[in-house]
Amino acid sequence: MKFLRILAFPISFLYGIVLALRNKMYDWGIFSSREFEVPVISIGNLCVGGTGKTPHIEYLVRLLKTEFYVATLSRGYGRKTKGFLLADTQTTANDIGDEPLQFKRKYSNIRVAVDAKRVNGIEQLQKNYPSLQAILLDDAFQHRAVNPGLSMLLTDYSKIYKHDYVVPTGSLREFRSGATRADIIIVTKCPKILLPIERKRLISELKPMPHQRVYFSYIKYGDFLPLNGEQKNPFSKEFYFERNYSMILLTGIANTSSLEYYLKDKVKNMERMKFPDHHRFTGNDIENVKKIFNNIAAANKIILTTEKDAMRLKNPEYAEALKDLPIFYIPIEIDFHDKDKEQFNEQIVHYVRANQKYGSVYSK
């Protein structure tokens, strides 16, 4: 595999050149890039996926929603619909995609929209909700048609972009130099204990520009929740860990390494069923899950999936097939190391407060 990636390097270089030229067209003003009066925060990455954008957007929602009128705007990857669409209580993953559905179900008081054309999406949000005070753009670092007021770049602790290459040799969507567009760089999925010397090493490798702030975040795993929201789980996740449950880990996300590492010493054995990112489960997939589950020779056994996968598995057409299976999902949140939390929160809130169209009653 490594040899094939080396052979693909010329393709990666040419692809990177094309993308770099496209970016220069925006930088030179040949391609237009819209700015908006409403504060717009872009959250994205340089690599193909798996850096933790979703929990970071949720962190921003929790940070801002008590003080500001907030909306999220995503492409809606994997949906069956087209154009601009607003989420409501009846929306499914087929309508808007799994991540936007997750935002809407967890934070019903914010506006959640999807549109592949982000400029149109922002215009429609402003038209429908003129009092919006902040818009969070999901996975929009390469979407240069919008010039956000604040741009956040995420990079995985285990593989920061400085050690990666453009696809197909590596997993980058563009050359590493694209990172200079970011105002904030977040190293995600860090160990829960991050030594100062390790922090210093990573900053040295990233070589941030003078205008860039670097923060470090880590994942916090919640309790297992039943896929069927009408059911209740009276036990904490430790109940299953202490009794050495066997587990099927059912995933359709880009990167499962952090979750697998978290679980590896906590369950008796783990059967992995991996599908591509945003995989749309089929009836055959569900039957295979049931077959593998029934073949596990253990009395104590469960099926665990991610919160994002749960959004797709909750499709009504799977309800009958899944109703008798002990299937749970594990929600995650992110938090920041040391003083990063206070400084990050202050930077974000200050930006949103300072850029209200008509001023803000919250301004200092």
Domain spans of the chain, in order of start: 2-16+28-68+133-218+335-354, 223-330
**Euclidean distance between CA atoms 336 and 340, whole angstroms:** 6
pLDDT of residue 358: 60
Residue 31, token pair as written in the block: 């391609």
Buried b (16+ CB within 10 A) or exposed e, 236-274: ebeebbeeebbbbbbbbbbbbebbeeebeeebeeebebe
- Residue 298 in tokens: 């253990």
Taking the model in full, what pTM does it have?
Answer: 0.93
Q: Which of the four pLDDT bands, split at 50, 70 and 90, describes residue 196? A: very high
Same fold? 2-16+28-68+133-218+335-354, 223-330: yes
pLDDT band at 173 (very low <50, low <70, confident <90, very high): very high
Q: Would you say 176 and 164 are in contact if contact means Cβ atoms under 8 Å apart?
A: yes
Answer yes or no: are the C-beta atoms of 150 and 116 closer than 8 Å: no
pLDDT digits (tens, 9 = 90+) for 27-66: 999 999 999 999 999 999 999 978 999 999 999 999 999 9
pLDDT at 357: 78
Query: 223-330 has which CATH code?
Result: 3.40.50.2300
Q: Answer yes or no: is pLDDT of 183 > 60.
A: yes
Integer angstrom CA distances of residue 336 from 141, 186, 202, 218:
21, 9, 15, 6
Q: What integer pLDDT is reported at residue 35 of this predicted model?
A: 96
Q: What is the pLDDT of residues 116-160, one digit of tens each?
A: 999 999 999 999 999 999 999 999 999 999 999 999 999 999 999
Partner residues linked to 112 by β-bridges: 72
Residue range 269-295: mean pLDDT, rounded: 93
**Which range has the worst mean pLDDT, 62-71, 212-221, 353-362?**
353-362
* The pLDDT of residue 363: 36
Task: Return the SS3 of 178.
Answer: helix
Contact 71, 84 (CB under 8 A): no
Residues 6+ apart with CB under 8 A from 317: 283
Tokens of residue 289, six digits: 């899950």
Answer whether CATH 3.40.1350 is correct for domain 2-16+28-68+133-218+335-354. no
Structural contact between residues 159 and 33, judged by C-beta atoms closer than 8 angstroms? no
pLDDT band of residue 7 (cuts 50, 70, 90) is confident
- pLDDT tops 80 at residue 214: yes
Mean pLDDT, residues 345-360: 87
pLDDT at 189 over 60: yes
What is the separation of C-alpha 177 from the centre of its chain, rounded to a whole number of angstroms? 22
Q: Does the structure show a pLDDT above 70 at 247?
A: yes
Please report the pLDDT score of residue 218 as a whole number. Answer: 98
Q: What are phi and psi of 301, to 5 degrees?
A: -155, 145
**Poorest-confidence range of 5-14, 138-147, 265-274, 298-307?**
5-14
**Distances in Å between the alpha carbon of 10 and those of 24, 164, 179?**
21, 15, 22
Q: How far apart are CA 297 and CA 290, in angstroms?
A: 13
Give me the pLDDT at residue 10, please.
Answer: 85
In angstroms, rounded to a whole number, what is the distance separating the alpha carbons of residues 119 and 35?
Answer: 9
Residue 361, sorted as left (phi over 0), alpha (psi -120 to 50) or beta, turns out to be alpha
Question: Is the omega angle on the peptide bond into residue 226 within 30 degrees of 0, that is, cis?
Answer: no
* CA–CA distance, 158 with 347 (Å, rounded to integer): 26
What is the Cα–Cα distance from 125 to 84, expressed in whole angstroms?
Answer: 9
Closest to 183 (Cα-Cα) out of 208, 206, 203: 208
Tell me what pLDDT residue 362 has: 37
CB of 156 within 8 A of CB of 188?
yes
Return the pLDDT at 360: 46
Judge whether residue 264 has pLDDT over 50.
Answer: yes
Pinpoint the alpha helices (H) of the chain. Answer: 2-7, 9-27, 53-64, 93-96, 98-106, 118-128, 196-206, 237-242, 257-263, 283-295, 307-313, 319-322, 340-354
Q: What pLDDT shows up at residue 5?
A: 67
